[in-house]
């Protein structure tokens, strides 16, 4: 087309041909850019869905860690660490995407709510940010370092446990940053191979795909900690029926209320459901989560079992999954459970913690009354500060049962005064031997010993008797007069510290003086 003389008509044909080729290239480019945009949208949607699933898995692990710490406490802790590490790295990748859009001048199109995929064809945005010649810029080096740090942090959580070996290998492959061999057989740095020279939408999509890898990693780790595998998650043979009662014990004559579900709440409708020998109407019993609602009389007092089976259709054949559960029927309560958390007595001047419950009745349907009673923060938790002038206190508990009936129970408690503390000096009490220096420099203290409450006593004054002379000292240290009396006493003189007055922080009743200390001077 370029050589020799051609007619005007042929020149026009040649020009149209070139324009046609350019238009084809332009359309192909737009199609490719649009395809990347569609891929990015799919990855973004998958990230949202996987995030929701991961939250549920993590919540399940934390719950199992609380309920069965010996089996799941370590796994739950690892899962929470993985969640923190993954969330941090995910957000870092998001900052890279934001920078790419900002530097490229791209933003969401208001009319479509999407990025302008077909116009995101710039190739120099990340090239200028991450690369300089054949080397990485500081920003590019940071990107690579962040990926390596994420990998190191995840592997540190997993540790060297052999059961995590395969998971670590898959994780390493997923986030490998090793050199890549291009089509010419040349080794290219990973960041260069994946991001240099690519249109903006391609790089943006790859970053979203990396975020998806983070979410997939998180999901696989959570499933690993829960003991799940791909086979277990897909095949119904690995599910088991679980009975979830509304409460663990029922009163005689009540109806059992609860649900029986497949493990992991598989949303699969059975072809048949049998419970306690009776076939249940599947259409009315199965809800949207795949759970079957149970409703039958619980029977007489004692331990009962629930048996039955789900029948599903798998691979064209009926698959039966047994339902196994149990519950306990208890008599209707006649007496409340009232216990003082600090022995079986109440002490004047103190906030005595109490736990009060009524068997089989929720805390919201239990009311408690007693002099000096107030509700504490937790369920069934109270404080009682007994009033003065009485040696006994009655706690009344009223429970409203499910049928509306009320049961009242009362319990009496003894009221005691706070015991006398023990006087101490230099860590010793009672009849002791000390040198003059220890006596004159040590503080006089009060100690409640093994009393059930942790009190904070302070000594406000005490009497000191030396060679028949008695003085009163304010505070808990010897004043100059007391020091002179002690220093002027001969060896083996007896020093008596008594009438030790004590105050206790937060206690508004008088405290008996601490026990006396008798000291024989050794010098």
**128 and 248 within one domain:** no
Residue 36 lies in a domain: yes
E-strand stretches of 331-417 = 337-340, 345-347, 352-357, 366-369, 373-375, 381-384, 392-400, 406-416
User: How high is the pLDDT of residue 6?
Assistant: 56
Residue 369 has pLDDT above 80, yes or no: yes
Between the alpha carbon of residue 429 and those of residues 205, 433, 449, 496, 521, the distances in Å are 77, 10, 11, 12, 14
Q: Tell me: the pLDDT tens digits for 411-467?
A: 989 999 999 999 999 999 999 999 999 999 999 999 998 888 889 899 999 999 999
User: How high is the pLDDT of residue 470?
Assistant: 94
Tokens in use for 312? 């599903």
For residue 181, with 0-12 CB atoms within 10 Å meaning exposed, 13-18 middle and 19 or more buried, which class applies? Answer: exposed
**Nearest residue to 497 (alpha-carbon basis) of 475, 471, 523:** 471
- Residue 494's Cα: distance from chain center in Å? 61
Q: pLDDT band for position 288 (50/70/90)? A: low
**124 and 262 within one domain:** no
First to last CA, the chain: 124
- Residue 136's Cα: distance from chain center in Å? 40
Residue 13 lies in a domain: no
**222 and 267 within one domain:** no
Residue 14 lies in a domain: no
Residue owning tokens 């949207």: 288
**430 and 412 within one domain:** no
Lowest-confidence region among 4-8, 485-489, 513-517: 4-8
**463 and 393 within one domain:** no
Mean pLDDT of 394-413: 88
Q: pLDDT band for position 314 (50/70/90)? A: low
Q: Tell me: the pLDDT tens digits for 6-25?
A: 566 565 656 655 544 444 44
* Spatial separation of the C-alpha atoms in residues 419 and 465, rounded to whole Å: 25
**262 and 367 within one domain:** no
Provide the number of structural domains found in the chain: 4
User: How high is the pLDDT of residue 233?
Assistant: 38
Sheet holding 406-416, edge to edge: 345-347, 406-416, 392-400, 366-369
User: How high is the pLDDT of residue 246?
Assistant: 62
Q: Tell me: the pLDDT tens digits for 74-124?
A: 889 999 999 999 999 999 999 998 998 898 898 888 888 888 888 888 888
Q: Tell me: the pLDDT tens digits for 203-262?
A: 888 899 899 999 999 999 998 888 764 333 334 555 566 666 665 666 666 677 777 766
Residue 7 lies in a domain: no
Q: What is the CATH number of the domain that holds 353?
A: 2.60.40.10
* Spatial separation of the C-alpha atoms in residues 197 and 356, rounded to whole Å: 71
**341 and 290 within one domain:** no
Q: Kindly report the pTM of this predicted structure.
A: 0.42
Residue 523, helix vs strand vs coil: coil
Domain around 404: 337-416
Measured at the CA of 391, the angle between CA 390 and CA 397, to 5 degrees, comes to 85
Residue 12 lies in a domain: no
* Spatial separation of the C-alpha atoms in residues 169 and 158, rounded to whole Å: 12
Q: Report the half-sphere exposure of 406 (CA within 13 A, side-chain side).
A: 8
Q: Which of 365, 391, 416 is the last residue of a domain?
A: 416
* Spatial separation of the C-alpha atoms in residues 279 and 267, rounded to whole Å: 20
The partner residues of 296 in beta bridges, in order of sequence, read 256
**223 and 247 within one domain:** no
User: How high is the pLDDT of residue 317?
Assistant: 66
Residue 18 lies in a domain: no
Q: Which of 330, 364, 394 is the last residue of a domain?
A: 330
Residue owning tokens 């503080």: 443
**70 and 181 within one domain:** yes
- Residue 212's Cα: distance from chain center in Å? 24
Q: Which of 279, 311, 330 is the last residue of a domain?
A: 330
Residue 2 has pLDDT above 60, yes or no: no
**275 and 310 within one domain:** yes
User: How high is the pLDDT of residue 74?
Assistant: 87
* Spatial separation of the C-alpha atoms in residues 422 and 263, rounded to whole Å: 60
**148 and 106 within one domain:** yes
The partner residues of 396 in beta bridges, in order of sequence, read 369, 410
Q: Tell me: the pLDDT tens digits for 162-185?
A: 678 888 889 999 999 998 888 888
**245 and 222 within one domain:** no
């Amino acid at each position: 087309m370029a050589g020799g003389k051609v007619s005007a008509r042929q020149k026009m044909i040649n020009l149209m041909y070139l324009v046609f080729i350019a238009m084809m290239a332009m359309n192909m480019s737009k199609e490719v850019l649009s395809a990347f945009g569609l891929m990015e949208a799919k990855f973004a949607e998958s990230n949202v869905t996987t995030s929701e699933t991961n939250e549920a898995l993590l919540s399940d692990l934390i719950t199992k860690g609380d309920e069965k710490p010996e089996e799941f406490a370590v796994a739950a802790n690892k899962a929470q660490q993985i969640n923190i590490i993954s969330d941090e790295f995910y957000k870092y990748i998001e900052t890279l995407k934001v920078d790419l859009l900002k530097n490229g001048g791209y933003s969401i199109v208001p009319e479509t709510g999407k990025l302008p995929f077909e116009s995101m064809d710039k190739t120099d945005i990340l090239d200028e940010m991450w690369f300089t010649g054949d080397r990485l810029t500081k920003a590019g080096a940071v990107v690579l370092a962040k990926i390596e740090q994420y990998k190191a942090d995840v592997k540190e959580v997993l540790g060297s446990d052999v059961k995590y070996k395969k998971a670590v290998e898959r994780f390493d492959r997923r986030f490998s940053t090793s050199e890549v061999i291009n089509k010419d057989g040349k080794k290219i740095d990973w960041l260069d191979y994946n991001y240099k020279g690519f249109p903006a939408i391609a790089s943006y999509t790859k970053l979203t795909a990396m975020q998806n890898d983070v979410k997939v990693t998180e999901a696989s780790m959570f499933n690993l900690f829960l003991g799940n595998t791909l086979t277990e998650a897909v095949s119904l043979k690995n599910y088991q029926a679980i009975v979830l009662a509304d409460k663990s014990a029922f009163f005689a004559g009540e109806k059992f209320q609860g649900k029986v579900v497949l493990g992991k709440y598989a949303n699969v409708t059975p072809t048949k459901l049998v419970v306690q020998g009776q076939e249940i109407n599947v259409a009315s019993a199965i809800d949207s989560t795949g759970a079957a609602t149970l409703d039958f009389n619980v029977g007489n007092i004692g331990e009962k079992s629930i048996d039955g089976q789900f029948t599903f259709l798998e691979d064209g054949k009926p698959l039966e999954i047994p339902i196994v559960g149990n519950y306990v029927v208890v008599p209707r309560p006649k007496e409340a459970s009232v216990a003082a958390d600090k022995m079986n007595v109440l002490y004047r001047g103190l906030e005595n913690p109490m736990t009060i419950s009524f068997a089989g009745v929720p805390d919201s349907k239990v009311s408690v009354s007693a002099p000096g009673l107030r509700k504490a923060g937790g369920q069934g938790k109270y404080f009682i500060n007994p009033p003065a002038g009485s040696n006994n206190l009655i706690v009344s508990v009223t429970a409203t049962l499910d049928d509306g009936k009320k049961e009242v129970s009362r319990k009496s408690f003894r009221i005691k005064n706070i015991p006398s503390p023990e006087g101490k000096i230099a860590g010793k009490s009672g009849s002791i031997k000390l040198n003059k220096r220890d006596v004159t420099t040590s503080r006089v203290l009060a100690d409640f010993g093994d009393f059930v409450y942790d009190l904070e006593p302070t000594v406000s004054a005490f009497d000191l008797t030396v060679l028949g002379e008695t003085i009163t000292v304010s505070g808990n240290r010897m004043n100059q007069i007391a020091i002179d009396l002690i220093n002027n006493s001969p060896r083996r003189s007896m020093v008596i510290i008594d009438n030790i007055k004590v105050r206790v922080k937060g206690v508004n009743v008088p405290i008996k003086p601490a026990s006396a200390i008798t000291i024989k001077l050794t010098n």
